[in-house]
Amino acid sequence: MNEEEYLKNRLDDQIDWYDRKSSQNQKSFKRLQFILIIAAASIPFISGYVDDLYYLQYLLGGIGVVIAAITGMLSLYKFQENWTAYRTTCESLRHEKYLYLTKTDPYRGKNAFNLLVQRVEMLISKENSSWGEIMKKTEDQNEEK
């Protein structure tokens, strides 16, 4: 794989992937947090009317279920952790790319392309290892329950 192919097919592809996944996780996290806040804030308001409208107690129970389910989803899918990890990796890859394209240290010498490949692959590998550790930890926590 030559320099142009690597930059386009590997580096740019990975930057796009991490950028897209970061955005998806950010949106999921913020949406669920918004629903969680609204649901939790509505409980005191609705509970003030339970004596007048008995069926509101079922609504309160349903809201409690929604809060528990969303809290579980946030814990299980780790949207916030993935969002920040993917964003960090994306920005680190961009940083390496721009340093390389501008021939800024450490990419000044003859082996600049080889160094770029090593550093980029190290960043990707590091992120993949971190993700694997998070998934293993989540599995272990679920088995304990």
Q: Tens digit of pLDDT for each residue in 65-112?
A: 999 999 999 999 999 999 999 999 999 999 999 999 999 999 999 999
Higher pLDDT, 133 or 47: 47
DSSP state of 10: I
Where in the sequence is the domain holding 105, given as residue range(s)?
Answer: 3-144
Predicted local confidence at residue 32, as pLDDT: 98
Distance (Å, whole) CA 65 – CA 57: 13
Total domain count, the chain: 1
Digit-coded pLDDT (tens) for 14-64? 999 999 999 999 999 999 999 999 999 999 999 999 999 989 999 999 999
Distant-in-sequence, close-in-space partners of 33: CB < 8 Å, separation ≥ 6 = 74
The residues near 73 (Cβ < 8 Å, ≥ 6 apart) are 32
Is the pLDDT at 139 greater than 70, yes or no?
no
Q: What is the pTM of this model?
A: 0.83
Could you give the C-alpha distances from 40 to 33, 56, 66, in angstroms and in order? 10, 15, 10
Predicted confidence band of residue 129 (pLDDT cuts 50, 70, 90):
confident
The reported pLDDT for the residue numbered 20 is 98
pLDDT averaged over every residue in the chain? 92
Helix axes 79-101, 112-144, angle to 10 degrees: 170
